[in-house]
Structure 1
Amino acid sequence: MSFLELNINLFLFRMINDLGKQYPHLNPAMIFIAEYMVFFLALGVIVIWFTRNKKSRMMVVCATITFVFAEIIGKIAGEFHSNNQPFAELTNVNKLIEKAVDNSFPSDHTILFFSFCVSFWMFKRGWWFLWIILAFLIGISRIWVGVHYPTDVLAGAIISIISGSIVYLVVPKLSLTQKLLGGYEKCEQWVLSPLTKSKGKRSKDY
């Protein structure tokens, strides 16, 4: 990283992280987004999956593959460049959550959210751009609470967007993907059919 890039990175970090000192009433919201929004993402994925819509399920499959693919690339990138969290390297950081000191490049949280959110938007478009906004909020929140530099977040976002684009263009067209998803749906139908019949029988009894 050049001296100019380093200065820009530090400037942007200070600008965002210092907002927590200027607007402390926003800190609880940023802590919640940075720490706990991952549970809402998991819940959202489960709900989307069990709508039992084939396109939505393909979307979840592609998002999951994107995350795995992006995470592997992220780990490889981390071998070529590394830096600890800002709170471990800088003074006067507005650290709002606990985090072990390790290589923070690239941001795993950013990779996770951009992998799923970008994939969702690619499949659905329209109002699903709100997922993209959520991914950006996650990235900003991780800087706000002091655990990532802007370059950590930017690298995670770029890796996920590129990975998501490749997966979106390739995976849905593979016959293997279609067969595996179709096989799962047949198994699911076989498991759920007795429950459906039992429910229908009880309804007729009433």
Structure 2
Amino acid sequence: MSFSEWNIAAFRMVNDLGKEYQFLNSSMSIIAEYTVFVLALIMLVYWFTRTNKNRMMVIQAIIAFIVAEIIGKTVGQFYSNYQPFAVLPNVNKLVNRAVDNSFPSDHTILFFSICFSIWLVHKKSGWIWLILAFTVGISRIWVGVHYPFDVATGAFLGIFSAVLAYWLAPKLSFLQSLLSIYERGERYILPSKDRSKNF
């Protein structure tokens, strides 16, 4: 079996589940399309805990995503394929998409670069976000917009970039300086409550 045949067979294995378990299609569509808003909320919650550890983690996650996207767009120039629904018959297509290059999966890049960045800092609770990233990757196949190779490549790029940002960001002193400047401005606009005054 050639790689292309394997990729299609793996796609069919996941995508056809939507025909067999139709009651899951609505949930998979929501996961594939709207969990990006959950991810944004997660990042905001971490940011506004107002701890240096979490804020550096958010910065690292953003750097990881940008790096992964740049690499993804670059490799997409050398290898490309249209979405499965555009070229294969009888695809369980659950979301509307314009026909374009689906390699690699941008959604998977986003979720793995950010969720793996969280895991690197919060290993006990970070597994929850890795499971979310994996579920989003599967959902993109389930709804018919990506092949497994699109998703696997996106996951790899996200993880690679998260590790790179985790290693590199603490060495960039200007990031800590910018964060300190931001926090001084934040304390001026949104001062922390001094609990000692209550006693």
Say whether the fold is shared (TM-score over 0.5).
Answer: yes
- Corresponding residue for 1:160? 158
In 2, Cα distance between the equivalents of 1:139 and 1:39? 16
In 1, Cα distance between the equivalents of 2:6 and 2:141? 14
Q: Secondary structure at the match of 1:79?
A: coil
In 2, Cα distance between the equivalents of 1:116 and 1:93? 30
Deviations 1:159-202, CA, capped at 9 Å, x for gaps = 11111111101112321111111111111112223x859xx99x
- Corresponding residue for 1:173? 171
State the number of aligned residues.
Answer: 199
Deviations 1:73-104, CA, capped at 9 Å, x for gaps = 10001100111100001000000011111100
What letter matches 1:189 in structure 2? Answer: R
The CA deviation at 1:36 is: 0.7
Question: Does 2:97 match 1:99?
Answer: yes
- Runs ≥4 in structure 1, deviation > 3 angstroms? none
Root-mean-square deviation over aligned CA pairs: 1.9
- Corresponding residue for 1:84? 82
TM-score between both structures, scaled by the size of structure 2: 0.95
- Corresponding residue for 1:10? 8
TM-score between both structures, scaled by the size of structure 1: 0.92
Identity %: 56
In 1, Cα distance between the equivalents of 2:35 and 2:183? 29
Structure 1, unaligned runs of 5 or more:
none
Instruction: Compare CA radii of gyration and give the structure with the larger one.
Output: 1
Structure 2, unaligned runs of 5 or more:
none
Q: Secondary structure at the match of 1:135?
A: helix
Query: Is residue 93–residue 145 contact of structure 2 (8 Å, CA) maintained in 1?
Result: yes
Q: Which moved more, 1:4-13 or 1:142-151?
A: 4-13
